[in-house]
Structure formats: structure tokens, C-alpha cells
Amino acid sequence: MLSYLLFLATAEEGEKASAVTKLLSDFGIDLPLLLAQILCFSIVAILLWRFAFKPVLSTMEDRQRQIESGLRYAEETKALLAQAQQESAAIIKQAQLEGARFVEETRKTAKEFLDQQQKDATVRANELIAKALQAIELEHGKMLDQARLEVARLVVLTTQHVLAKELSDAERARYNEAATREITVI
Amino acid sequence: MQVSKQSRQFARQLFRLSLADGQISAERVNSVLIYLNQHPPRQPLAILKHYHRLVAAQLAKNHASVEHAGPIADSILHTIERALTQKYQRPVTATAEPNPDLIAGLRITVGDDVYESSIPSHLAALASSV
């Protein structure tokens, strides 16, 4: 490259020697120095590109890929989380419905049990009342029988006392004769 | 006191010996007692008690105790004697025993049989029917 540039400089030196020389001298540019700087710059640029920029860019690309994969993973996780939340909400709702149904059934069963217990209690109470009434009737009957016996006893006692005092001998003799007739017939 | 079977049988034999025509004879009873006095058996007291019970029961069969309240005529006693003699087919003698508790009426006891027609009995029957 350098030889080519030197050749070009030599070939066109004759055509534009005066204009180019004047321009270069006005700006203070030394052509060999410029060419050498261009060469060094190119060498440095190439070295930097190969040993600095490329690894750095590669590293940056890797990081970018990692970041993108991380973001993608986060997105997927977010979607899974939303799905899980939906499923959880559905399960909770189902459980609430089931629980409400159980509560309703339990309430209904308890009410039926309570009604049955009340009926049984009423029946037992009525039976107790009937038995008590029967017992009262029996006691009343017994009391009447006892009163009747007592009254009969008192009547007999009174009659005996009265007859013992009031009967005359003639009446007693007549009664004895009647008793004799009654006994001898037997 | 436990009376043995032999003693009871012996007392029964003595009782049968005391009868004359189905009736208790005083002479025979006297003879039995003399014999027992002369030949005391085993368990004499038990035998005598049993013999006494048998004799008393036999005497009671021929005797009617007529309890009465108020006056009672002899004809009533004779009527009762005739009726009981005819009923039991053995001679029955009646004796009157006053009992003011009867108020009025009769109670006749012949052995274990009792016939009663008195005010207390009628009142008791009335009370039991009530």
C-alpha cells in the first residue's frame, strides 16, 4: 500500500506539483508524515478492533442476550403467575360455594332434627299428662272407695249404737224368732 | 312339744274307746283316764292333750252354743235342737248363752260350724256390699 501511495505521489507529481505543493505548504502538511500517521492509525485501529472492540462488543451482545432472556423469563413467569392466580381464585370460589352448600345442608338438617325433637318432646309431655291424669283418676277412685268404706263403717257403728239403745225386748224377741226361722231353713 | 306319730295314734285309739254309739261316754272316758294313770305311756302329757282335743271336738259336735241378745224362749232352743239333729243326723243339745254384743239375733256354734243371723252380721254384710 505504501509503495502504491508512493508511486501515485510520484506519478502525479508532475501534473499537480505546483497546486498540491502550494496547498500542503499553506496548511503545513508533510506528506510522508501524514502517510506514516495514517498507517499507524490504521494499525492501531485494526488492533483495537480485533483485541478490544470485538471482545467488548461480544460481551455486550452476550449481556444483551442474557437481559433479553431474563426479561422473557420474567414475562413467562408473570403469565404463569397470572394463570395460577386465576386458578386459585377459581378454586377458592368453588370452595366457597361448596362451603355455603354444606352450611345450608347442615342448617337444614339441624332444623329438621330440632323439629323432630320438639315433636318427640310434645308426644312425651302428652303421654306424661295422660299418665298423670290416669293416676289422678285412680287416686280419686281410691279416695272415694276409702271414703265410702269409712262412711259405711260409721253408719254401721252408729246403727249398732242406736239399735243397742233403742230396741226393746219385745223387738229383740221378734228378731230372735225371725233369726231362728232363717237359720233353721239353712 | 313335738308329738310323735305313735303318740297321736295311741291318743286316737283311746278316743275311739271312749265312744259309745258314736257318742262320748263319761264312764269310758273315766276308764281311759284310770288306765293311763296306772300304765303311764311314753309322752303322757302329749297323749293326754291330743286325747283331750279329740274328746272336746267330739263333744262340740253334739253341742250347740246359742248366743243371743234379748229374751229367747225355750221353744226356740227346742226348734234349733230339732233342726240341727236332723241336719247332722246325730243328737245335738242347745244351750243359750247371752251375748249383748249381738244387739238382736242369734249365733249358733256347732263344732266348727257357725250359723249367725244378728244385727251386727247383717250390718257388716251391708257395709261390705257398699
* ipTM at complex level: 0.71
* Total-model pTM: 0.51
Q: Are B87 and B47 spatial neighbours (Cβ–Cβ below 8 Å)?
A: no
Q: Is the pLDDT of residue A120 over 90?
A: yes
Give mean pLDDT, residues B12-19.
91
Do B54 and B82 share a domain, yes or no? no
**For A5-9, A18-22, A98-102, which range has the lowest pLDDT when averaged over its residues?**
A5-9
Give mean pLDDT, residues B86-103.
88
Q: A172 vs B70: CB contact, 8 Å cut-off?
A: yes
CA–CA separation, B118 vs A81, rounded Å?
A: 119
In the stretch 65-84 of chain B, residues with CB closer than 8 A to chain A read 68-73, 76, 79-80, 83
Q: Per the structure, how many domains does chain B have? A: 2
CA–CA min distance A134, chain B (Å): 24
Do B40 and B83 share a domain, yes or no? no
CA–CA min distance B68, chain A (Å): 8
Dig out the grid coordinates for A173 from the structure.
Answer: 224377741
Chain B neighbors of A154, CB-CB under 8 A: none
Do B101 and B81 share a domain, yes or no? yes
Close Cβ partners of B64 (under 8 Å, ≥ 6 residues apart): B80, B81, B84, B92, B93, B94, B95, B108, B109, B110
Name which of A149, A172, A95 is nearest B104 in CA terms.
Answer: A172
Q: Domain ends where: B43, B60, B77?
A: B60
Give mean pLDDT, residues A111-135.
97
**In chain B, pLDDT over 70 holds for what percent of residues?**
98
Do B72 and B50 share a domain, yes or no? no
Do B115 and B68 share a domain, yes or no? yes
**For A25-39, A52-66, A81-95, which range has the lowest pLDDT when averaged over its residues?**
A25-39
Q: Is the pLDDT of residue A40 over 70?
A: yes
Burial A37-55 (b: 16+ CB within 10 A, else e): eeeeeeeeeeeeeeeeeee
Model confidence at A7, in pLDDT bands (50, 70, 90)?
Answer: low
Q: Is the pLDDT of residue A9 over 70?
A: no
Q: Is the pLDDT of residue A11 over 70?
A: no
pLDDT attached to residue A68: 97
Give the domain range for residue B124: 63-129
pLDDT tens by residue, B22-40:
888 889 999 999 999 998 8
Do B49 and B72 share a domain, yes or no? no
Give the domain range for residue A63: 2-185
Do B19 and B50 share a domain, yes or no? yes
Cross-chain CB nearest to B70 (options A173, A183, A184):
A173
Nearest 5°: the CA angle A50, A56, A59 is 125
Do B45 and B68 share a domain, yes or no? no
Q: A159 vs B123: CB contact, 8 Å cut-off?
A: yes
Do B52 and B104 share a domain, yes or no? no
Q: Per the structure, how many domains does chain A have? A: 1
Do B50 and B74 share a domain, yes or no? no
pLDDT attached to residue A3: 67
Do B122 and B101 share a domain, yes or no? yes
Do B91 and B38 share a domain, yes or no? no
CA–CA separation, B72 vs A179, rounded Å?
A: 11
**For A4-13, A49-58, A80-89, A105-114, which range has the lowest pLDDT when averaged over its residues?**
A4-13
